[in-house]
Amino acid sequence: MTARIGVVTFPGTLDDQDALRAARLAGAEAVPLWHRDKDLKQVDAVVLAGGFSYGDYLRAGAISRFSPVMGTIIEQAKAGMPVLGICNGFQILTEAHLLPGAMLRNNHLHFICRDQKLRVENADTAWTADYASGQEISVPLKNMDGRYVADERVLDELEAEGRVAFRYLDLNPNGSLRDIAGITNAAGNVVGLMPHPEHAVEPLIGTGGTDGLGFFTSVLKKLVAA
Amino acid sequence: MARVVVDVMLKPEILDPQGQAVQRALPRLGFAGIADVRQGKRFELEVEGPVDEAALSRIHEMAETFLANTVIEDFVVKVES
């Protein structure tokens, strides 16, 4: 049976269609999920897509975190279901405390949109197994609140446990501490990152490469093996 | 109705580029002598019913779980008379 990947739409989500398309291109059954529904429609994994849910009012991701769908996702994520948060989705995952730290306004205060080089630091997560540790990839990046912060103790812990999943290469676009672009939880099923792999899955759009497709094929492989 | 104010500020160790941008603009505008600026948020809550201990404890919980992100922010709850 084909694995089902759900993508949540909150009011203000922008990249849900791209994420659904990326899941389909990887070979999954793509399932749209609505933020008001507690029901996850028997999906095997969930993507929280990018955008500006609830207009980023209060703080990015702060209001979405309390949507009915998040109650179920938090429960399932703790039980081991793979969850990927991209950009606004990453912000929601930190607000929900599924990932440590917090996301703040870029240090230069500008919205930034560029092709971003990343190093995959951890290829043992549910969403990165199709990459090699140390592999360099290029995917689009576009955000206003992309500065990852956590206190020194948390940062040291993330480094020691190999939970810095992605690091910015060449240029740190937003002042993220220790050039962190993405992290994983201890179990490796919950991953969050600021850049957008779902925009680099077809040669004709985004960076012109398909470096982002590995996220979606990784989780499929993991689900089929499970 | 009573008013309760919740002030939310970034923790001192967190870089505040918005505050810095304001501080850098001040001398340009002719306002000298300001060594540092930090920008925060103020919530004014109009509370129905008495602001007793139970109400304040609910507001404290609201500030801690929602109005502030305590990973990066501190908050203070004040009753305005």
Q: Report the residue of B13, B15, B18, B74 to disrupt the A interface, i.e. the one with the largest count of A CBs within 10 Å.
A: B15
Per-residue pLDDT at A1 exceeds 80: no
B81 pLDDT tier (thresholds 50, 70, 90): confident
Q: Cβ separation of B18 and A66 shorter than 8 Å?
A: no
pLDDT digits (tens, 9 = 90+) for A126-181: 999 999 999 999 999 999 999 999 999 999 999 999 999 999 999 999 999 999 99
Active site residue A196: yes
Please give the structure tokens belonging to residue A91: 């912000």
Element (H, E) at A224: helix A213-225
| pLDDT of A216 | 98
What torsion, rounded to 10 degrees, do the Cα atoms A172, A174, A178, A184 define? -110
Active site residue A87: yes
| pLDDT of A205 | 86
pLDDT digits (tens, 9 = 90+) for B22-52: 999 999 999 999 999 999 999 999 999 999 9
State the average pLDDT for chain A: 96
Size of interface A-B (CB pairs under 8 A): 34
B5 touching A, CB under 8 A?
Answer: no
CA distance B72 to chain A (A): 7
CA distance B9 to chain A (A): 13
- Residue given tokens 């993220």 in the structure block: A176
End-to-end CA distance of chain A: 12
Residues 6+ apart with CB under 8 A from A9: A16, A32, A33, A34, A35, A49
A83 pLDDT tier (thresholds 50, 70, 90): very high
| pLDDT of A140 | 97
A170 Ramachandran zone, left/alpha/beta (phi>0; psi -120 to 50):
left
Q: Cβ separation of A150 and B71 shorter than 8 Å?
A: yes
Question: What is the spatial distance between Cα B64 and Cα B67, in angstroms, rounded to a whole number?
Answer: 7
Question: What is the spatial distance between Cα A100 and Cα A98, in angstroms, rounded to a whole number?
Answer: 7
Q: Of A58, A59, A107, which has the smallest distance from its Cβ to B17's Cβ?
A: A107
pLDDT digits (tens, 9 = 90+) for A168-207: 999 999 999 999 999 999 999 999 999 999 999 999 988 8
pLDDT digits (tens, 9 = 90+) for A10-38: 999 999 999 999 999 999 999 999 999 99
The SS3 of residue B17 is: helix
- Residue given tokens 């922010």 in the structure block: B73
Please choose, from the candidates A69, A71, A99, the residue with its C-alpha nearest in 3D space to the C-alpha of residue A165: A99
Q: Cβ separation of B72 and A109 shorter than 8 Å?
A: no
Q: Are strands A45-48 and A83-86 parallel, antiparallel or unpaired?
A: parallel
Nearest chain B residue to A106 by CA distance is B17
| pLDDT of A225 | 80
| pLDDT of A206 | 83
Q: Of A58, A101, A109, which has the smallest distance from its Cβ to B21's Cβ?
A: A109
- Residue given tokens 């060449």 in the structure block: A170
Per-residue pLDDT at A109 exceeds 90: yes
Active site residue A110: no
From chain A, pick out residues whose CB is under 8 angstroms from the CB of B9. none
Residues 6+ apart with CB under 8 A from B57: none
Q: What share of chain A in percent tops pLDDT 70? A: 100
Please give the structure tokens belonging to residue A152: 């020194």
Q: Read off the DSSP letter of residue A225.
A: H
Query: How large is the average pLDDT for residues A71-99?
Result: 98
DSSP symbols for A138-149: EEEEEESS-EEE
Considering the candidates A35, A87, A121, A199, report the single residue annotated as catalytic: A87
Question: What is the spatial distance between Cα A143 and Cα A109, in angstroms, rounded to a whole number?
Answer: 10
Nearest chain B residue to A107 by CA distance is B17
Considering the candidates A35, A95, A198, A199, report the single residue annotated as catalytic: A198
pTM for the full model? 0.95
From chain B, pick out residues whose CB is under 8 angstroms from the CB of A151. 13
Give the type of residue at A218.
S
DSSP symbols for A16-48: HHHHHHHHHHHTPEEEEEETT----TT-SEEEE
Considering the candidates A35, A95, A121, A196, report the single residue annotated as catalytic: A196
Query: How large is the average pLDDT for residues A98-121?
Result: 96
| pLDDT of B1 | 84
Give the type of residue at B60.
H
